[in-house]
């Protein structure tokens, strides 16, 4: 499962961001996961637990914000709704080919960590 590699990468990114705060530990990390990344949110949660196990960040929380891909029609200048997991090639209203927008996000949006003195920090 490639989620473990992603979780380790997220952890590394968080640790880099916390470098100016020695002794701090992660409280919660918020990530955006796009539909087209082939990342399963449930698996990423489990992978996060595994990635931080045995580190000072063990027990921290990962919050996953799901970012679906959108189908955009240039003819109608509008997003077109679609059923979960299915794609339309052509706009049902005007027949133009639809473009896929978004869904490729895999970003750390927010990192909350706890300073060694116990003070909560957002940012
Ligand atoms: Zn259209």
Alpha carbon of 70 to ligand 1 centroid (Å)? 13
Its domain, for residue 110, covers 3-68+103-117
Q: Residue 78 C-alpha to ligand 1 middle, in angstroms?
A: 7
93, part of any domain: no
Look at the alpha carbons of 107, 39, 27, 102 in this order and tell me if their dihedral is positive or negative: positive
Q: 66 CA distance to ligand 1 centroid (A)?
A: 26
The pLDDT tens digits of the residues spanning 69-120 come to 899 999 999 999 887 667 888 999 999 999 998 999 999 999 999 998 756 6
Nearest Cα residue to 113 out of 14, 54, 25: 25
CATH of the domain at 44: 3.30.2320.50
Report CA-CA distances (Å) from 91 to 81, 88, 102: 10, 7, 18
Decide if 108 is inside a domain.
yes
């Amino acid at each position: 499962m490639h989620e473990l590699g992603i979780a380790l990468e997220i952890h590394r990114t968080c640790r880099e961001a916390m470098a100016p705060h020695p002794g701090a530990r992660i409280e919660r990390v918020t990530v955006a996961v796009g539909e087209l990344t082939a990342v399963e949110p449930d698996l990423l949660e489990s992978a996060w637990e595994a990635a931080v196990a045995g580190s000072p960040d063990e027990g921290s929380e990962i919050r996953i914000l799901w970012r679906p891909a959108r189908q955009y029609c240039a003819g109608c200048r509008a997003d077109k709704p679609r059923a979960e997991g299915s794609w339309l090639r052509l706009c049902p209203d005007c027949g133009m080919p639809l473009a896929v927008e978004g869904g490729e996000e895999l970003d750390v949006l927010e990192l909350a960590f706890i300073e060694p003195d116990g003070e909560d920090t957002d940012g």
